[in-house]
Amino acid sequence: MLLTLCLFLGSAGVIYLACEYFVNGVEWFGRKLDLGATATGTVLAAFGTALPESAVTFVAVMFGKTPAARDIGVGAALGGPLVLATIAYAVVGIALWFNSRRLKRPDRVIRVDHRRLAHDQSWFLAIFVVKVGLGLVAFAIKPWLGVLFLAAYAMYVWREMRNSDSVPEEEILEPLKLRPRQADPALRWVMTQAIAALVVIAAASRLFVSQLEAIGIAFALPPHLVALVLSPVATELPETINALIWVRQGKERLALANISGAMMIQATIPSSLALFATPWLFDAPLIAAGVVTAIAIVYLWWLFHRGRVDACWLLPVGLLYGVFATYVAWHFAGS
């Protein structure tokens, strides 16, 4: 058990350090490609950090030998967006709250394109409602609808790439960590740093999840409780840490763009894979995950639609994950 705890904490530390290199590398990569500042977070950073959990879903639904194994992929497709819509946004609020003095931000106001983020929330909610609705019914052509989710993500990426924005003056691009003395490092060094950091993140995340599952077994926690409540938190740890790092640097615009982009990936690509390979029918805990996620998104849309978001207003959304975890624990305790 001591070894498990050491590996658990050690892998979390490695993920944090690797994310420091990844966010630095992906910012430089976005500049090299002359991408808009927000597109760097919504497309490049989000796609990179979402690859590990998308791979988990792919392996579970495509190569799972039992229905229970394939259900893990379905749970990941629902659990990922739930964690991002609740815990990840709350982390942004907490991080800005605690770093406001160092950043000279006494008002603790989230400085982002509120209209754009509100639009992202409405876009995600529309896709997510369809996604959950399909989990409540059964019909013959349902697997083919997975193509629509892939098309929806392609449209989202196209829209993000077309919308250009500039980096605010107060957001300074730090030197590339592999070449700290070069004012304009070569693209090969930028790609090397970003890809290497991503590989480390993926490997450490895999180790982190396996140790979390071992802890669940050691404490005799129900497997479904670990799969639905604890594992999604672990698989979304890179996005959450990215957000923490960017907010600490005063770049909450990139932090929220990363979360928003990752949510779109989680709402489309894993769902399409699960639709192709599973019946995609939800039980009570999965329905609860869908309902709590939808509530969180409506609340976030309302916040950003107002045009001003204080850091403290993001904290309540994190409590929704506690509500979901309590319900799942009660559900499996009674079964």
Look-up: residue for tokens 């640097």?
Answer: 249
Cβ count near 143 (within 10 Å): 15
Query: What dihedral angle (degrees, nearest 10) is formed by the CA atoms of 30, 31, 35, 39?
Result: 40
User: In 105-248, where does DSSP find H-type helix?
Assistant: 114-134, 146-162, 187-218, 223-225, 231-235, 237-248
Q: What is the pTM of this model?
A: 0.85
Which pLDDT belongs to residue 65?
61
Q: Give the CA angle between residues 311, 317, 322 to the nearest 5°.
A: 130
Residue 313's contacts (CB-CB under 8 Å, 6 or more residues apart) are 93, 303
DSSP state of 311: G
> Can you give the pLDDT at residue 290?
92
Ordered per-residue pLDDT tens for the chain, 335 residues: 788 888 888 888 888 888 889 888 888 888 888 776 677 777 777 877 776 666 666 666 666 666 655 666 677 778 889 999 999 999 999 999 998 888 888 888 888 888 888 888 998 999 999 999 999 988 888 888 889 999 999 898 888 777 666 555 455 788 999 998 888 899 999 999 999 998 888 788 778 777 877 777 777 776 667 777 877 887 788 888 888 988 988 888 888 888 988 888 888 888 888 888 788 888 888 899 999 999 999 999 999 998 888 899 999 999 999 999 999 888 877 66
